[in-house]
Structure 1
Amino acid sequence: MNQKLNETQRKILNTASDLFYQKGTQHVGINEVIATSGVAKRTLYRWFASKDELIEAVMKHRAMQWLEWFEVAVEDRGNTAKDRLLATFDVLEEWYADPSFRGCPFINVVLEIADASHPAHHISMSVRESIRQYVMRLATEAGVREPEAFSQQYLLLIGGASLMATIEGKSDGAGFARNTLSVLIEAG
């Protein structure tokens, strides 16, 4: 799907994104997306031929928005690469504390859609890889000895913090992950 969206496409994607995130992709039908967005069935199907195509488009749209938000928020909070690495968990802590937080949408969709060949799974994996690459770049700039291994360790921390926030409904895990990250940075 073209990155240039018209107003109707954006409305459908934003509505579906909100519904999928709030209720889960498997619990939202096309008719609910149509009713909530206020578009005609024919209009939705003009842009998205199936629910799977809609899920894929929503995930691409959400991935682009989330990654941009994350990197901008992190870059705004730190003057050095080390500061920015640590700031990643400050940014995530704020996200986890948001009353609308219902888990990581990329993890959620992988858990909901068991088919590893589904495009949403691949999009979720690409988001994970984008985060890893970003962290690896920051780790390299910060002088971490093994930035590749560090970036993999980081993914464990972010996954654990996200899971804690989802299960416990608290943002504490981000602080614990930030402290662990600080130890990893100092060790490397």
Structure 2
Amino acid sequence: MTPAAQRVLDTAGRLFYERGIHAVGVDLIATEAGVTKKTLYDRFGSKEQIVVAYLTDRDQRWRSFLAQRLDAAGGDPGGRVLAVFDAARAWSAEHGSRGCGMVNAHAEISDPSHPAYAVIAEQKRWMLALFTDLAREVDPERAERLGRTLMLLHEGGLVAHGLSVFPDPLGHARDVARDLVGRHTP
């Protein structure tokens, strides 16, 4: 990626997350990135493709961030589950308090034919698979159900965090996850 394209992606990511995808136009992205609209279109082709690049980049950064925390948790199955919630808290503190970028994007992009929709849906499928795999380490017989429950706790915590519904919803979700995992640990 050229330096100009990286500036566009970084700027678009910040603006999309802070203001919303529909509220941000290519003129604003180009101006704040210090590029011409021609450069923006040469690098990405369309606003839709900038959105796809933004969501893909955010997802890749989240997966890398999470992998580090899962590695640090070691082999303890319950600790690995809780590491996901701890990572979400740390990510939110570092990358913004508006909740999950994928959930926010889905609120604006609900049409399955939009190219960004596939990125959003795949990220959530990946999270469900991750929670199911982690749940399998905790309780192989109930992995599907426990994985779904953990994902619902995680996603609910992210949404409540973004809405500031009550203090530390991700911490609360972690506490509930700890209780669930504790019940299922042999």
TM-score when scaled to structure 1? 0.87
Q: Partner residue of 2:23?
A: 27
- Aligned length in residues: 184
Unaligned runs of 5+ in 2: none
Q: Aligned partner of 2:101: which letter?
A: P
CA contact (8 A) 1:78 1:87 kept: no
Q: What does 1:92-131 correspond to in 2, within 5 Å? A: 92-98=88-94, 100-131=96-127
Q: Partner residue of 1:62?
A: 58
Q: Aligned partner of 2:63: which letter?
A: L
Q: Distance in 2 between matches of 1:184 and 1:144?
A: 14
Structure 1 vs Structure 2 CA RMSD? 2.0
Residues 1:80 and 2:76 are matched in the alignment: yes
Q: Cα 1:114–1:14, aligned 2, differ >3 Å: closer, same or farther?
A: same
Summarize deviations over 1:67-120 as a string: whole Å, max 9, x none: 211222232244412211112212222334458321110000000123232122
Q: Percent identity?
A: 28
Q: Tell me which of 67, 70, 73 is aligned to 1:71.
A: 67
Residues 1:153 and 2:149 are matched in the alignment: yes
- Deviating more after overlay: 39-48 vs 86-95: 86-95
Residues 1:133 and 2:129 are matched in the alignment: yes
Residues 1:18 and 2:11 are matched in the alignment: no
> Post-superposition shift, 1:182?
2.0
> Post-superposition shift, 1:34?
0.4
Unaligned runs of 5+ in 1: none
CA contact (8 A) 1:97 1:171 kept: no
Q: Cα 1:72–1:160, aligned 2, differ >3 Å: closer, same or farther?
A: same
CA contact (8 A) 2:82 2:177 kept: yes
Q: Partner residue of 2:2?
A: 6
TM-score when scaled to structure 2? 0.88
Q: Distance in 1 between matches of 2:143 and 2:62?
A: 23
Q: Distance in 2 between matches of 1:154 and 1:102?
A: 21
CA contact (8 A) 2:98 2:162 kept: yes
